[in-house]
Each structure stands twice: as structure tokens, then as C-alpha cells.
Amino acid sequence: MNYYLGLDIGTTGAKAILINSSGEVISSATSEYLMYNPKPLWSEQNPEDWWKATQNSIKDIFKKSGIKNSEVKGMGLTGQMHGLVLLDKDGEVLRPCIMWNDQRTIKECEEITSLFGFDNLLRITGNPVLPGFTAPKILWVKKNETQVYKKIEHILLPKDYIRFCLTGEFATDVSDASGTSLLNVGKRNWADEILSVLDIQKAWMPEVYESIEITGKIKKSAAEKTGLNYETPIVAGGGDQAAGGIGTGTVKDGITSVVLGTSGVVFSHTNNLTIEPEGKLHAFCHAVPGAWHVMGVTLSAAGSLKWYKEIFGETEKQIAAEKNINVYDLLTKLAGEIPAGSEGLIFLPYLTGERTPYPDPDAKGTFTGITIRHNKKHFIRSILEGVAYSLKDCLELNKRLGLGISEIRISGGGAKSKLWRQILTNVFNTEIVTLITTEGAPYGAALLAAVGTGEYSSVEEVCEKTIKISESTKPAADNVKLYEEYYDIYKNLYQSLKGSFNKISSAVEKQFRQ
């Protein structure tokens, strides 16, 4: 039997999975790395850490599975989008990667928008320019780190840096490139007019491929470091959300996926390029050749619960360790002891700014409605509910765009929680299904490799034959009505607090300049 490997360069670690030609997951391994926040609104990682973690994860895969490297017929890459990796003429990293959730580039976004006009940018790139995207980060480096900028020879996205380490090739795919503000999403190639005006040399940019195309083969030095077979082919792969769309079978009109990971995503397939008129949703090329997707993003979804665990969950971490249980299972168990609505406690999950429907890097997380009755359990449940409200914001925009939503599929680490799934179902007032395979993006990357190397004839075929529904969660009528009332309150909070958020950011920035 043939085997295929998917590798995900995620926000917290490099995850590798191995599947067979039937789509069965044989083994998986994750190696973690750190994220750094050297200043307010900054998020960075060291690309060399990704490479070390990649080597460890792939070697662990072979140890766990017992599969010979010669049996692995192809590999697909996926990973966090938008990150800026800069290399010099020798292929050496020039500075830490500026990540997807970094919010330092507000002024650069304004500059790019003024140069091209908001409507023109939507027409070309399908999206407004946002602080998390890649183009404004390049301009920031040009203005603030001139010596680094002068040495640039190559610009890569996170997963594509690992591709370079594995193959020596400079390549990307259409879905990941869509998040740079430098791609013409209709033509599925670099937008020469934008590169020219921003003085970004096209020679710096990697070649753009469809996600199933082979972009290179494993070189000898990488084979020695990872345990992969020399000349194993690597397909282009996709950004984490597009690859996750493949991993959930979101490859035809009517299917929408919800990803409850570090960030939260509502993702709908479309056969035609569909752009939200105000730019509130992302319009990207899909990992399905010739297709696109529409996407709303909540920047801190399961990341909000992780934040709570790290800052306030020391007791729960100790209990979980003593009882040998997952700390998140313990946290959600506590949340389940509180009634729906958290007795009026409402959480805004804007811990790193927000993307949809408010592209606002100054947005802040808040707990509103605190009373003397509220305890730790209320705060945990309000986080689960606040993330659900934020994802409903995204879902409602998809509906208003006219996308028919016949089925919602959920994945991601947060989707393992039965309570969180039920909260989402009630807030959405829509049935949600889970899948037998829950690996998401790396699973999708492995499926893309199976198509690109000829095991299957198309993305649609591989998804139809490998992806199966596991269980369904249906809305509870009483809670649906309650959540509708609280959602109406939630929607008004951002508008009421926006001015205060901006003033807080200004005050903090002023403080750090002194």
C-alpha cells in the first residue's frame, strides 16, 4: 500500500501525519516551538525552530508507524498563513518571522490602501489590506529595518520556508499566496501592478502553483535530517485554512466548515470568485484547482481558552496532571456546570485584535456584565460562548453574501469538546456534524499529495472516498432562544467600546515610547 505525509507548520508546533491510500491515519506527531511578543501587538517566531520541529516530527512518524520511507509516495505542506520570512542570497533567514497575528502594520495598511484605493484592492486581491497580511509587513521592514531590507533575495510564507529546507526550491501555492495582498486572486498569480508600485521585486517572490502540483523533491541533506526518502515528491499544498477545507471535504458549493483552532474560521467553498462588497470576508483561491473560498476569521478562538488556562488555570493544570487528564477537558467540564448564557457574563474574544467582521487591530478582549455571583466557571463558559458569538458573526456574513449553506462541518482542537460543539450549534441554530478524521489541515495536505502523485484523479474524488461523517449535534430549542437574546447584546458591545479600544492602544503606545 502507498502512504502519504502531511505536514502542518502551525502556530504552536509542527504536526506531521501519515495516511495510507485509503485515507486512514496511520500515525501523527507534533513538536512544539515558541512564539515571541517582544512589544505590544507584535508576534514573531524563528523559522529555524520550525525546521528543527519538522525534523523531529517526521522522524517520530517513522518511529511510531514502522513504515519504510520508500513507502511514502508523496508529501503535502500546509501551515499558518501571512507570515513574512525573509532570506538573503545564501538562503539564510534575515530576521524572525512576523506572524499572522502581528498587528504592528496599521500605518502601512493605510499607505497601501491610499496608493491603490479600497475598491481597486478588492477587485485585484479579493480583500482589504489587513495588518496580519504579508505586504504591509514588507513595507514595515523597509521603513524600520533598512539594513535587513537591503539584503532581501527571497520572500517566503512559513510552510514554503520548510519547502525550501526540504527541496531547495522557492515555491508557494495559490491559496497561501492569496493572503499576502500581492496576488491577483482572479488570475491566480502575482499582481504585477501591486509589486511594481510597492517596489517589491518579483524575483523575490516564489513561483505560484496550484495546490496539487509537484513543486520539488526531497534533497539528500534533508533526507538525512528527516528520515524521508531521497527524491520523495512534494506538492504545493495550501494555507492552513484551504488545506483544512480539503481535510473536511469542503470542496463543493453548499458545504461550510467551521475550524475551532487557535483562530476560528468559517469557510465556504465557491466555484466562482465571490467578493464581499465591504471586504468583511476573505476571498481566497481554494486548494481545489480553479475554485475559490470565502472565509471569516476570529483571531482568538481556542486561543482564548488557552490564554485563560495559561494565566488563570494553574490550579486546573495541577489537578489535570495529578489525575492524568486533559486540562481542557477539565476546564470545559467546569463550564458545563454553569447554565447557558453564563448568567449575563459576555466575553469579547479580541485578545489580539480582530479580523471579522471588524478588521481592527486595536480591538480588545473584555468581560462584560461581571457581578458578585460570577465565579471561575462562569468565566470559562463565557469564553466558549463569546467565541461562538464571534463565529456567528462570520456565518451571518457568509449567508448575506448569498452562499447556500446546506451542511456545516466542524474541526479543530476546540471541536473535541462536546459542550463547545453544543454551544456553537445552539448559537448558530443549525445542525453541525463532525468527521471520523479530525486532523484537519495536515490531513488535507496529505490528501493533496495523494492527488498530485496520481493515487486519485481529483481533489473531489479523494474527499468523496476518504472523508466520512462521525456524529451530529442538533440545536436545543430553549437555548437557541436564549442565545439569540445574548447575541444581540454581544453585537452591540464592539460598537460601544470601539472608541475606548482606540484610546487604550494610543495610551499604551505612548507609554512604551517614553
Residues designated as active site: 240
Distance, CA of 106 to CA of 131 (rounded, Å): 6
Q: Which helix (H) or strand (E) holds 472?
A: strand 469-473
Residue 446 has a CB neighbour count (10 Å cut-off) of 35
Going from the C-alpha of 326 to that of each of 36, 376, 377, 382, the distances in angstroms are 25, 18, 17, 20
- DSSP annotation of 228: P
SS3 content of the chain, % helix, strand, coil (to 5): 45, 20, 35
Distance, CA of 109 to CA of 117 (rounded, Å): 11
Distance, CA of 397 to CA of 347 (rounded, Å): 21
Cβ 197 vs Cβ 220: under 8 Å? no
Q: How many CA atoms lie within 13 A of 115 on its CB side?
A: 16
Going from the C-alpha of 79 to that of each of 18, 245, 461, 505, the distances in angstroms are 16, 13, 23, 30
Cα torsion through 263, 358, 178, 201, rounded to 10: -110
DSSP 109-159: HHHHHHHH-HHHHHHHHSS---TTSHHHHHHHHHHH-HHHHHT--EEE-HH
